[in-house]
Amino acid sequence: MYAAALLKRGDPARRVTVWERNAPDDTFGFGVVLSDETLGGLQDADPEVYAELRAALVRWDDIDIAHRGHLFTSTGHGFAALGRHRLLEILQRRCAGLGVDLRFRAEAPPPDVLAASHDLVIAADGVHSRTREAHAEVFGPTLTTHRCRYIWLAADFALDAFRFETAETEHGVMQLHAYPYDAGSSTVIVEMREEVWRAAGFDELDETESAARCAKIFAEVLHGRALRGNNSAWTAFRTLVNARWSHGNTVLLGDAAHTAHFSIGSGTKLAVEDAVALAAHVDAGPTLPEALAAYEDERRPLVESTQRAAVASLRWFEELAEQLDRPPRQFAFNLLTRSRRVTHDNLRLRDPAFTASVEREFGCPPGTPPMFTPFRLGGLTLRNRVVVSPMDLYVAEEGVPGDFHLVHLGARALGGAGLVMTEMVCVSEQGRITPGCAGLWTDAQADAWARITAFAHASAPGTAIGVQLGHSGRKGSTRLMWEGIDEPLPTGNWPLVAASPLPYRPGVNQTPRALDRAGLTSVREEFTAAARRAARAGFDLLELHCAHGYLLSGFLSPLTNHRTDAYGGDLAGRLRYPLEVFDAVREVWPADRPMTVRISATDWAEGGTTAEDAVEIARAFAAHGADALDVSTGQVVPDERPEYGRSYQTPFADRIRAALGVPVIAVGAISSWDDVNSLLLAGRTDLCALARPHLYDPHWTLHAAAEQGYQGAAAPWPAPYRAGSRRPPTGRKDG
């Protein structure tokens, strides 16, 4: 209806028809939440609709989070809501006034009939869109069903805040999301994992019984009041993504094109913003195909960003049980920042008092950002929480690191990070990825590394430098990254070994030899010999590379380990050899220096390592003495499908930390100091490893300190650089 009103307003000569299968006052759910950003767009698109909406809205600023007897209120969030019936009335009145033909209780003609008889067909027929299914081969829908059941209910009183309430029942954890939508009513959504829903017997209750049961469970926040439904049914949320949004003169709008979980309140927001953009592009022309293409080009990046945030949020609630044992205030901060859209810096602007209380509980001295607090890892105290992530350089000669390594690692050590990691250093010539990989299989290589560690320790006192030891496994004997990543060498390839004789890419990469008993022993001894050299070279920390499809990772993943002996089969069998290598290295590595393990917490592929497996893998390494888990993902099989996005790998670190209480290092598209502070305060990680930001700016950590006004001991500028510790003045910007 909103799209119809905008199109008719844009050109009164247009004949615009709306087919609606339901009655004029039929709707599901109760309240609609709109952001100030969305309202601003509505004001520009149609001031008349905006004026009516504004008069009908209820506004509030607070979020209440209740957890285990504690209630925390965070303010400054700026919500606005109204009832769905009121929204329908406003839009129907506007459409009628503009001359839109509204046809209620009327099924629309088939999609092809509409397309043949109209210039433009807008399919806003929801997540079950018949229009989309009629041309599914063109639209390319992907529908993902998630793990929780939820129901939309209402209470006949107005809450004074957005309320999150957790109920820990004998059947499992249940979650309430509630907010006011008019002066005397509130939307109440109750959500829980499918298995909890069944154990509690909700699968056998009708709407009335479910409402009564939910009201009893959450009686305290409801003050004993009843809940009511509106054709309410328990359902599982489905995330819908379409490869295309238009086909000929037919275009998808709102939930027919995309869905976003209700926990970030974006379904109606996205739909009305779609309508604004679509009408604007149709009005601007010049042709309909160009208008539809421009509409999708504008909206798709915004929608995909929202969907990523929504998926992060819904998964947080799916794994709610693992969050419950956090300190209550940290739990609240974690909930507020779950989608990674609200951050530490953003929340500090909205609610400085609440944010300051979280910082104090974390242990931040006055004026000290979380990232500049120290952290003890085994016998090593890191002065801050920033790690320069391992980054392969591919410039070593015969495995010997040279001046490029000295400058690269030395610059990052001078740049202020608490820990600087080498690239994956190979334990043997056969274990290289490329001819340019660095190694520790000779004393000459160890001497070259000693030169680098000595520079870091002397020129950047307080900076720790760590070595990552690994073996390429089946992913070896390839070209330098910029010459063709994962492509075999044109000549001079060396034989590969792996857990199983499976090439990385059949027909492209060579088939490795499966390690036999003698080979397993030999490789293990290569790791211990390299570890001894690393200790003599002066490294402060050693990380065992068990990720990204390299040799030890190849044992862990069921996709790459098809062995039938003691080193294959179930997870315990697949863990056996990596643990043997870890134990052997730990035995020769100095006891006062920490040892970490990098793992791929998911293979991003069907049948591969799962997040649940990752917890057990982490548990095993921690039990064997790992001081921390460096939690990465993927790169195990070439047909992976990662869910890229901001900080997209950090939930896996969060899950391991919450489940086991072991220190973790988070990686994966962490790009700003605000991200680092947010992840630390939320308790999702203990350290943050960043790669590309340190390529862009070797002094990233020092600049992060300067930008936050921090001048303490956790980020000291080297004496020769102190004159540059403040941002240089820029040109005038006053016109």
Catalytic residues: 550
Element spanning 388, H or E: strand 386-388
Helix axes 47-56, 84-98, angle to 10 degrees: 150
SS3 label, residue 519: helix
- What span, in angstroms and rounded, lies between the C-alpha atoms of 178 and 152? 10
SS3 label, residue 640: coil
With helix as H, strand as E and coil as C, how does 74-115 read?
ECCCCEEEEEHHHHHHHHHHHHHHHCCEEEECCCCCCHHHHH
SS3 label, residue 443: helix
Cis check: omega of the bond before 594, within 30 degrees of 0: no
Cβ density class 437-464: b for 16+ within 10 Å, e for less: bbbbbbeebbebbbbbbebbbeebebbb
Measured in whole angstroms, the distance separating CA 194 from the mean position of its chain's CA atoms is 23
Tally: H helices and E strands in the chain:
26, 27
Closest among 229, 230, 185, 187 to 210, alpha carbons compared:
229
- Dihedrals φ, ψ of 304, to 5°? -65, -35
State which amino acid sits at residue 169: T
Closest among 277, 268, 279 to 297, alpha carbons compared:
277
Residue 34 DSSP symbol: E
Alpha helices, H only, 489-570 = 517-536, 551-556
As given in the structure block, the two tokens for residue 245 are 């949004």
Measured in whole angstroms, the distance separating CA 307 from the mean position of its chain's CA atoms is 11
Cis check: omega of the bond before 503, within 30 degrees of 0: no
DSSP letters of 154-181?
EESS--SSEEEEEEEETTEEEEEEEEEE
Torsion, Cα 600 606 610 611, to 10 degrees, reads: 90
Helix axes 352-362, 673-681, angle to 10 degrees: 70
The two most distant CA atoms of the chain are separated, in Å, by 85
As given in the structure block, the two tokens for residue 356 are 């300051």
Q: If 0-12 CB within 10 Å is exposed, 13-18 middle and 19+ buried, where does residue 672 land? A: middle
SS3 label, residue 386: strand
- What span, in angstroms and rounded, lies between the C-alpha atoms of 615 and 482? 35
128 Cβ neighbours under 8 A, 6+ residues apart: none
